Amino acid sequence: MNAADPNETRFTEIIFPAQANHYGTLFGGTALNLMGKAAVIAAARRAGANVVMAAADHVDFYKPVAVGQLVELCARVERIGRTSMTVSVDVIAEHIKGGERQLAMRGKFEMVSVDDDGRPIPVNRMAPEPA
């Protein structure tokens, strides 16, 4: 198996009723939680260290995601600073029957590489730079 791209992470979830709002679609807070999780994984992989979220810069909700749909979260490190990284996260909604896929959400997150005491540390520059 090839090594994972250190600048990107992807994972898929199915939306259950407990994750829905009163309209039967994915609750916005739950969506932000999933997006934050994707951003943390991508940034931590790239930094080779623990990371914390400094900001959720901008999140757009384009399409509602119904209970029973799949969501693929695609997070990519777009910018690397001395101790921080900008991570973009796309949420692609997919109908299990038929496989139709649509961009449902997109966000940008600022992540900071930290030591065991939570203090900012330089991002590991040895890993490949984002494309």
Mean pLDDT per 10-residue section of the chain, whose length is 131 residues: 78 98 98 98 95 96 98 97 98 96 98 97 74 59
Q: Fold for domain 8-114?
A: Thiol Ester Dehydrase; Chain A (3.10.129)
Q: Tokens representing 23?
A: 């309209």
Query: Cα separation of 30 and 121, whole Å?
Result: 30
Nearest to 80 by CA among 107, 105, 45, 106: 45
Query: Cα separation of 88 and 110, whole Å?
Result: 9
Q: Is the C-alpha dihedral spanning 22, 23, 29, 31 positive or negative? A: positive
In the beta sheet, which residues pair with residue 31? none
Report the pLDDT value the prediction gives residue 124, as an integer from 0 to 100. Answer: 83
Domain boundaries, the chain: 8-114
In the beta sheet, which residues pair with residue 52? 112
Nearest to 75 by CA among 102, 42, 44, 48: 42
Report the pLDDT value the prediction gives residue 68, as an integer from 0 to 100. Answer: 98
Report the pLDDT value the prediction gives residue 131, as an integer from 0 to 100. Answer: 59
Contacts of 16 (CB under 8 A, 6+ apart): 67
Report the pLDDT value the prediction gives residue 60, as an integer from 0 to 100. Answer: 98
In contact, 103 and 63? CB cutoff 8 Å = yes
Report the pLDDT value the prediction gives residue 129, as an integer from 0 to 100. Answer: 57
Strands (E), 4-99: 8-14, 50-61, 70-80, 84-94
In contact, 47 and 110? CB cutoff 8 Å = no
